[in-house]
């Protein structure tokens, strides 16, 4: 697969995901209109769609039909979007803009932003339940709850720049990004009936990719002079070069986990290269 | 069933539910400790447990074993608790106390309160997924989302005392209380494989009971001089006597829907009497 092939692959899937999301989130002409408008504002933005693309790529690997893969791929993106709305609130990061547009609480008020969060999470579990497999809802719930995303967000609030250990930062980042990256590949693995050993391998891939992604995010912030001086990150602890090296290591482990697969894993390999090269 | 028998029935079930909830919500010695502490603060309070008791009573009627009914009964209570945390936030009702104790955001801060909401919702869907039936997660998701609870909360924000129609108030109240009351009886009906006609009947019961409960809440607020002058309610529109009459009508409809059942529906009948008499 050439870089151009990969760009086409990603663009095609992003378009399919955008269109599926636009169909899943109710229109803002339907009551409660304000909440639906807030949900659409948050979801139908210029997102990278990394998690659902990852989910579709894992579905291709597992030979899971697109129509069975899509609702769950979108469910992961909806939970991710809900967590971004929370992250941006005044009591969290107090952000005003995301992806070049006003944050949901700025555009719709905090109360409606919170109801949009609940609406998105409910929709995610409704989509997950369509697949007739309760393991999917269980997997999503664990990745969102206090053993996953929520744990990462809480620990993130506590990283106050007092020089915690690299292990502690890695744990936070693993949960913040890793949990939904892992869910994105685990859900199609469950649906396709993938064996334990293959499922373990693709989870190793996703965990390392998620952590690498989080560090490249920190590196991009640092490059742009946006780093939060009050926060411990890989960059604050290892320096820019050290963080770059860590990303390389993680990408190597992620790619190594794909060795058991042939050309079908090529999009996943290219995705790892993309994450490795983005900072 | 005498009133004393019913009190014993309710007390027994409340104790079982309290104990099950204490087991389901992780201990605050487990990371993320602050979020778990906030979740326990919200859940393990002196709640009426009306929804899970209703769920267990419907399970008894459907002859569903207690151990299968309990996780889902608790899932409904966890979603209810999450919605109360949101309701109390400064951007919503800006409450300081609930059930005689500080609200979660007062005791733990807003950020942790929001993470507790996410943690409780995730736990609810994890419990719902235990039962090996994806219809349960779908039912809970619908009752929580923009066709249920979220719609009710958004519409409630819009009831600003400008004299909207009784129909509009009824729709808000139906969603605010009705959605989870219906889920509480619908989930055991699904798990027990109850027929359509019986399921419809018990849903009519739950919908009318939920609406009656909401009106009695407004009546209790009015009695205590706590009514919110800026809000339209049944009491502000119908007056105290009119609201009392509406409660009587709703309780009669709820009880009428139980006619197809014999003594096994007695706890549900007594619960309707209890709601009817509480204001």
pLDDT at A36: 98
Q: Which residue of A has its CA nearest to B28?
A: A146
Q: Which of A89, A130, A150 sits opposite B118 (nearest CB)?
A: A150
> Which chain B residues are within 8 Å of A129, Cβ to Cβ?
134-135, 137-138, 141
Q: What is the pLDDT of residues B85-95, one digit of tens each?
A: 999 999 999 99
Q: Please report which confidence band the pLDDT of residue A93 belongs to, taking 50, 70 and 90 as the band edges.
A: very high
A56-93 CB burial, b ≥16 within 10 A, e <16? bbbbbbbebeeebbbbbbbbbbbbbbbbbbbbbbbbbb
Whether B71 has a pLDDT exceeding 90, the answer reads yes
Say if the Cβ atoms of A135 and B129 lie within 8 Å: yes
Judge whether A31 is closer than 8 Å to chain B, CB to CB: yes
Mean pLDDT of chain A, nearest integer? 93
> Which chain A residues are within 8 Å of B155, Cβ to Cβ?
31-32
pLDDT at B233: 85
Q: Which residues contact B260 (CB under 8 A, 6 or more apart)?
A: B198, B201
Instruction: Tell me which fold the domain B3-277 belongs to.
Output: Farnesyl Diphosphate Synthase (1.10.600)
Q: Please report which confidence band the pLDDT of residue A112 belongs to, taking 50, 70 and 90 as the band edges.
A: very high
Judge whether B276 is closer than 8 Å to chain A, CB to CB: no
Q: What is the pLDDT of residues A75-86, one digit of tens each?
A: 999 999 999 999
**pLDDT above 90 as % of chain B:** 80
pLDDT at A62: 96
Segment B47-60 shows an average pLDDT of: 96
Say if the Cβ atoms of A32 and B109 lie within 8 Å: no
Whether B279 has a pLDDT exceeding 80, the answer reads no
Q: Which of B31, B130, B141 sits opposite A126 (nearest CB)?
A: B141
Segment A28-43 shows an average pLDDT of: 97
**Helices of type H across A25-129:** 33-43, 50-61, 66-88, 104-108, 110-129
List the single best residue of B43, B91, B142, B179 to mutate versus A (max A Cβ within 10 A). B91
Q: Please report which confidence band the pLDDT of residue B67 belongs to, taking 50, 70 and 90 as the band edges.
A: very high
Say if the Cβ atoms of A83 and B118 lie within 8 Å: yes
- In contact, B154 and A34? CB cutoff 8 Å: yes
Mark which residues 129-168 of B lie under 8 Å from A by CB.
129-138, 140-142, 144-146, 148-151, 153-155, 157
Q: What is the pLDDT of residues B193-230, one digit of tens each?
A: 999 999 999 999 999 999 999 999 889 988 887 766 56
Q: Which of B26, B145, B155 sits opposite A122 (nearest CB)?
A: B145
Distance CA B178, CA A65 (A): 38
Delimit the domains of chain B by residue range: 3-277
Distance of CA A27 to the CA centre of its chain: 24
Whether B52 has a pLDDT exceeding 90, the answer reads yes
User: Out of A95-99, A242-246, A266-270, B227-231, which region has the weakest mean confidence (pLDDT)?
Assistant: B227-231
Say if the Cβ atoms of B126 and A133 lie within 8 Å: no
Segment A185-189 shows an average pLDDT of: 97
Mark which residues 47-76 of B lie under 8 Å from A by CB.
none
Which one, of B93, B38, B36, lies nearest residue B230 by Cα? Answer: B93
Say if the Cβ atoms of A137 and B134 lie within 8 Å: yes
pLDDT at B224: 81
Q: What is the number of CB-based contacts under 8 A between chain A and chain B?
A: 161
pLDDT at A46: 87
Segment B6-29 shows an average pLDDT of: 97
Q: Which residues contact A258 (CB under 8 A, 6 or more apart)?
A: A201, A202, A205, A265, A268, A269, A272
- In contact, A36 and A118? CB cutoff 8 Å: no
């Amino acid at each position: 697969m050439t870089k151009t092939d990969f760009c086409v692959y990603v663009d095609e899937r992003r378009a399919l995901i955008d269109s599926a999301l636009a169909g899943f989130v109710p229109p803002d002409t339907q009551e409660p209109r304000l909440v639906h408008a807030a949900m659409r504002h948050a979801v139908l933005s210029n997102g990278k769609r990394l998690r659902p693309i990852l989910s579709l790529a894992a579905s291709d690997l597992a030979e899971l039909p697109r129509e069975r893969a899509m609702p769950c791929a979108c469910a992961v993106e909806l939970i991710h979007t809900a967590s971004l709305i929370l992250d941006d609130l005044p009591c969290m990061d107090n952000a005003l803009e995301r992806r070049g547009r006003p944050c949901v609480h700025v555009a719709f008020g905090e109360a409606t932003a919170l109801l949009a969060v609940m609406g998105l999470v409910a929709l995610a579990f409704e989509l997950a339940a369509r697949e007739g497999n309760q393991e999917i809802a269980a997997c999503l719930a664990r990745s969102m709850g206090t053993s996953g995303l929520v744990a990462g967000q809480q620990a993130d609030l506590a990283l106050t720049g007092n020089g915690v250990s690299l292990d502690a930062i890695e744990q936070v980042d693993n949960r913040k990004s890793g949990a939904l990256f892992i869910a994105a590949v685990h859900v199609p693995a469950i649906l396709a009936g993938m064996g334990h050993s293959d499922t373990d391998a693709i989870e190793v891939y996703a965990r390392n990719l998620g952590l690498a992604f989080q560090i490249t995010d920190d590196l991009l912030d640092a490059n742009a002079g946006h780093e939060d001086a009050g926060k411990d990150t890989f960059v604050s602890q290892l320096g820019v070069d050290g963080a770059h090296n860590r990303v390389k290591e993680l990408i190597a482990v992620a790619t190594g986990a794909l060795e058991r697969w042939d050309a079908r894993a090529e999009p996943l390999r290219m995705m790892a290269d993309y994450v490795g090269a983005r900072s």
